[in-house]
Chains A and B, each alone.
Chain A
Amino acid sequence: MPAQTLIKIENVSKTYTTSKEDIVALQTVNLEIKEAEFVSLVGPSGCGKSTLLMLISGLYPATTGVITIKGEPVTKPYTNLGIVFQRDMLLDWRNVLDNVLLQIEIRRLNRADYEPHARELLERVGLGNFTDRYPRELSGGMRQRVSICRALLHEPPLLLMDEPFGALDAITRDQMNLDLERIWEQSRKTVIFVTHSVPEAIFLSDRILVMSPRPGRIVANIEINLPRPRTLDIRDLPEFSDYNRQIRKIFREQGILIDELGKDKEGLGQSPSSEVDY
């Protein structure tokens, strides 16, 4: 299976110019992401993970370097993708179905063509009976599912997810991981997934990129060779713990985790689902 390169990031850096100071958020990032690859970005808070996603989506301009998607340089917002943020960004005044269909309205596509698909997606994540509810009537997990459906509706080849499950409780988060795994198995999109939870990254990814503290660079590139489709039980495999240990070691080397204090810095590894298991 010859995997084609979808995204190529060459010598990309990003400096935010604020009135007080210049903040170097990313420093010479070089990276290739293949089609249908599930890649996770992990790293300490403020290391530039969100910034990297914003650069890839073309919503922020890079300070130096070039990002290409399918060989085309990204110079304006790239629209052939779906984005999920940590906060669900649902519109209060639209019901669940209309929130999902926002994707179609903005793209000026025919609503009727996509409505069955929207319903099917909602059905698939267990929201089939909630299509006419308003967001405020849903739980956090349900809301985030809606926002994932919205990101998938137009069947984009690329999905950018910025800590999508960061605000959810442990059990909901496990369920969302399983749901996402299943969705990915079915559609094999390219996914770039930002998370603070190393076990979550191992569970979902083909590859994990570890970033250094600011200015952010990519300091490790770890292939995850675990069988798919994945179930929660793979967390009990010895390989799973090995990956976990390997990444923890990198964090320690980067000064992200400091053992002597008996606790971690910058809120890393705070995934509630991981604390119990490891």
Chain B
Amino acid sequence: MNEKSKKNRENKLVTWIRNYSYSIIAMIVVIVLWELAVKVFDVKEYILPAPSQVLRKLTGNLSLLFRYSLVTGWEILLGYLLSIIVGIPMGLMIFYSRFLERVIYPFLVASQTIPKIAIAPLLIIWFGWGIWPKIIVSFLIAFFPIVVDTVVGLKNTEPEMIYLVRSMGADRSQIFFKISLPNALPNIFGALKVASTLAVVGAVVGEFVASDEGLGYLLVVSHGYMDTTLMFAGILFLSLLGIIFFFIIEIIERLALPWKTEKESVLHSATM
């Protein structure tokens, strides 16, 4: 059995390399073409820097980039956590009470239709220049899919399943914890992944409006100096931040929903 699981893990590794090697090769090809195109057509650096120039800029400003990444990463994390802490309970309230649904609904719609960039200055009047406006913008963008998917996930429990457990004498809390909630988890995790990328957008928007540090601030400043190369370095770090958040959620999802991973590994071995 140990042998088998070891072999399984090796198989997974081989699969992983196979799947991702194509993506990695594709990226390398694009970067090389980009480099060549910039050189061949002699593109000005302030219009489109070559990857090698970006790399040089990046290593030259590494400590600054890391420090700003930490600032923005912190804003993203807090905005994201807030959107989870508010989003999931709000989804539960909407699911369990028609009254609360009617109360919450207009605010929910308003929170999505009002452009976040338009209220960011207002948030700065209210909360100052500190971290709060960024957290709130990030939260406002990210929490909506969490609310919606929590409700959708809870609603798609089969009525027959509920009848079945009621005939076993289930009470409300058992129905929630043993049936409805686990049933909603795939939806909720799907939303958490979408929200993780939205939280990044929110934090950057917040920094655009008013800030004195962070990757969004770096973009604004480097734009002011027409330092396109530094902008590219900033954008690269921002997307790295987004990818890190995304994969952390994906790992948690795999741990929380092992039966889904099972399905995936079946799929993978089928395609091999």
Contacts and interface: CB of A to CB of B under 8 A. Distances in A.
Interface of A: 54, 57-59, 77-79, 81, 83, 85, 87, 89, 91-93, 102-103, 105-107, 134, 136-137
Given A83-B164, A89-B158, A106 B259 contact: no
Contact of B182 (A54, A93, A134): A93
Nearest to A50: B160
A68 B134 CA distance: 64
B166 interface: yes
B47 interface: no
9 contacts: A57-B163, A58-B167, A59-B166, A77-B169, A91-B161, A102-B168, A106-B170, A134-B259, A134-B263
Interface of B: 158, 160-161, 163-170, 174, 178-179, 182-183, 185, 257, 259, 262-263, 266
A136 B263 contact: yes
A107 B164 contact: no
B167 A89 contact: no
A106 B163 contact: no
B164 to A, nearest CB: 5
B259 A93 contact: yes
B167 A83 contact: yes
Given A106-B170, A136-B259, A137-B262, 14 more contacts: A57-B163, A59-B163, A77-B166, A79-B167, A81-B167, A89-B158, A91-B161, A93-B259, A102-B168, A103-B168, A106-B165, A106-B174, A134-B259, A136-B263
Nearest to A77: B166
Max chain B C-beta neighbours (<10 A), residue from A79, A92, A103: A92
Nearest to B258: A93
A106 B160 contact: no
A106 B158 contact: no
Contact of B160 (A77, A85, A103): A85
A62 to B, nearest CB: 16
A137 B258 CA distance: 14
A29 to B, nearest CB: 20
B110 to A, nearest CB: 30
Looking at chain A's contact residues, the main secondary structure is loop
Nearest to B169: A79
A78 to B, nearest CB: 7
Contacts of A93: 182, 185, 257, 259
Contacts of B262: 134, 136-137
A102 B161 contact: no
B169 A107 contact: yes
B163 A91 contact: no
Nearest to A154: B168
A80 to B, nearest CB: 10
A161 to B, nearest CB: 12
A139 to B, nearest CB: 14
A88 to B, nearest CB: 10
A136 B259 CA distance: 9
B160 to A, nearest CB: 5
B259 A92 contact: yes
Contacts of B164: 83, 85, 89
B92 to A, nearest CB: 19
Given A59-B167, A77-B166, A89 B161 contact: yes
Contacts of B168: 79, 102-103, 106-107
Contacts of B266: 137
Contacts of B160: 85, 87, 89
A175 B91 CA distance: 45
Nearest to B182: A93
- Give 10 closest A-B pairs by Cβ, nearest first: A106-B168, A79-B169, A77-B166, A106-B170, A93-B259, A134-B259, A59-B163, A93-B182, A89-B161, A85-B160
Contacts of A57: 163, 167
A136 B142 CA distance: 32
A107 B178 CA distance: 12
Nearest to A60: B163
Nearest to A81: B167
B162 to A, nearest CB: 9
Contacts of A77: 166-167, 169
Contacts of A91: 161, 179, 182-183
Contact of B167 (A78, A87, A105, A137): A78
Contacts of B259: 92-93, 134, 136
